[in-house]
Amino acid sequence: MKSNLTLIQLISEQTMQNLLPVLRLQPTKLVHLATPRTEARSPLIAEAAWQSKCPVELETIRLSNMPSMREAHGAVVRSIEDTKSDGVECIVNFTGGTKLMSIGAYVAALNNKTASLYVDSQEAVFVDGQTGDGLETWFKGDLSFTPILRSLSVHAVAKANGCPRVTGGREWKKMLPLAL
């Protein structure tokens, strides 16, 4: 079921930390903060969401080549304020981007008492940033990846990483000795 939620994310070269929260939260809108280096990933993530039966509206905000904490903070604050002025709830995903961008995004969420999350792909959980209330409600008390495992397809992951399609390919087992 679609939610009236905007997910504000820092876009990085690693797409899973941006795709997983979309599949889990099913937002109606994505606000992506991207550098020139990562900007092309933004529509790929949105397309992967569409492929996974999660149609989203996409807004990509272009930041400088190496955003400072202040620049990232300002962009996230503006996104939070715009979203809330429309009467829509939002969550900030501060996982991607550079460390400086993540700090700026986290502080923006904290100062604006907005829920935030970190994607811990190694432990397969979403971590509550504890910057605002409501994250547990949006996740229905389960911060694990378990509820999205069925919607996480090879095709969606490939699409998020810029591969236009996935085919059956060739038999790989006979090539295994070459890898050793």
Q: Give the mean pLDDT of 41-66.
A: 93
Q: How many CB atoms lie within 10 A of CB 96?
A: 23
Report how far apart, in Å, the C-alpha atoms of 175 and of each of 48, 108, 172 are: 30, 50, 5
Confidence of residue 2 (pLDDT cuts 50, 70, 90): low
pLDDT in tens, 28-43: 999 999 999 999 999 9
Q: Look up the pTM and report it.
A: 0.88
The SS3 of residue 31 is: strand
Least confident interval from 1-5, 85-89, 153-157, 175-179: 175-179
Percentage of residues of the chain with pLDDT beyond 90 = 74
At CA 89, angle to CA 57 and CA 115, rounded to 5? 115
**Token reading at 15:** 């797409």
Fold of 5-179: Rossmann fold (3.40.50)
Give the pLDDT confidence score for residue 1 in this predicted structure.
47
